[in-house]
Amino acid sequence: MRAAALRRGALAVAALLTVAGTASACGDSAGSGGPVELRLGYFPNVTHATAIVGVQDGIFAKALGDDVKLSTKTFNAGPAAVEALFSDALDITYIGPGPATNAYAKSKGQAVRVIAGATSGGAALVVKPNITSVEQLKGKKIASPQLGNTQDIALRYWLKEKGLKTTKEGGGDVSIAPQENAQTLETFTNGQIDGGWVPEPWAYRLQQAGGKVLVDERDLWPDKKFVTTHVLVRTEFLKEHPDVVKKFLAGHVEATDKINADPVAAQKTVGDGITKLTGKSLKAEIIAGSWKTLEFTDDPIASSLLEGAKHAIAVDLLKPVDDLENIYDLDPLNDVLKEQSKEQVSSP
253-269 confidence digits (pLDDT tens):
999 999 999 999 999 99
The answer to whether the beta carbons of residues 204 and 128 sit under 8 Å apart is no
Q: Which of 197, 223, 249 is the last residue of a domain?
A: 223
157 and 261 together in one domain: no
Q: What is the pLDDT of residue 33?
A: 60
118 and 53, same structural domain? yes
Contact 284, 99 (CB under 8 A): no
Question: Which residues does the chain have with pLDDT short of 70?
Answer: 1-33
The residues facing 234 across adjacent strands are 112
Instruction: Please tell me the total count of domains within the chain.
Output: 2
Q: What is the pLDDT of residue 189?
A: 97
Please enumerate in sequence order all residues whose Cβ is within 8 A of that of 25, keeping only pairs 6 or more positions apart, or say none.
34
Q: What is the pLDDT of residue 5?
A: 41
**Residues 63 and 174 grouped into a single domain:** no
pLDDT of res. 25: 35
159, amino acid identity: L
Task: Identify the pLDDT of residue 195.
Answer: 98
My answer on whether 159 and 284 are in the same domain is no
Q: Containing H/E element for 226?
A: none
Separation of CA 203 from chain center: 17
Torsion over CA: 186, 191, 197, 202 (sign): positive
Any domain includes 2: no
Q: Is residue 182 one of the residues assigned to a domain?
A: yes
Q: Tell me: do 316 and 335 sit in the same domain.
A: yes
Residues 232 and 118 in one domain: yes
* Axis-axis angle for helices 263-278, 242-261 (nearest 10): 120
CA gap 82, 241 in Å, rounded:
20
Q: pLDDT for 286-328, tens place per residue? A: 999 999 999 999 999 999 999 999 999 999 998 999 899 999 9
The parent domain of residue 316 ranges over 33-122+224-339
Residues 137 and 231 in one domain: no
Give the model's pLDDT for residue 252: 98
- Contacts of residues 80-84 at CB distance under 8 Å and 24 or more positions apart, as own/partner, are 80/146, 81/41, 81/43, 84/41
Instruction: Supply the pLDDT for residue 306.
Output: 95
* Residue 143, CA atoms < 13 Å, CB-side half-sphere: 26
Q: Which of 204, 223, 242 is the last residue of a domain?
A: 223
Burial of 205 (0-12, 13-18, 19+ CB in 10 A): buried
Report the C-alpha dihedral over residues 236, 237, 238, 241, rounded to 10 degrees. Answer: 130
19: in domain:
no
The closest of 198, 64, 206 to 143, measured between CA atoms, is 198
Please indicate, yes or no, whether residues 117 and 231 belong to a single structural domain of this protein: yes
What's the gap between Cα 151 and its chain centre?
A: 12
Residues 173 and 287 in one domain: no
The whole-angstrom separation of Cα 11 and Cα 251 is 47
- CA–CA dist 306, 71 (Å, integer): 31
| pLDDT at position 281 | 87
Residue 6 domain flag = no
The reply to whether 211 and 254 lie within a common domain is no
Q: Which of 191, 223, 255 is the last residue of a domain?
A: 223
**301 and 183, same structural domain?**
no
Q: So what's the pLDDT on residue 20?
A: 34
CATH number, domain of 75, equals 3.40.190.10
In whole angstroms, give the CA distance from residue 121 to residue 229: 9
First to last CA, the chain: 71
Indicate whether 56 and 204 sit together in one domain. no
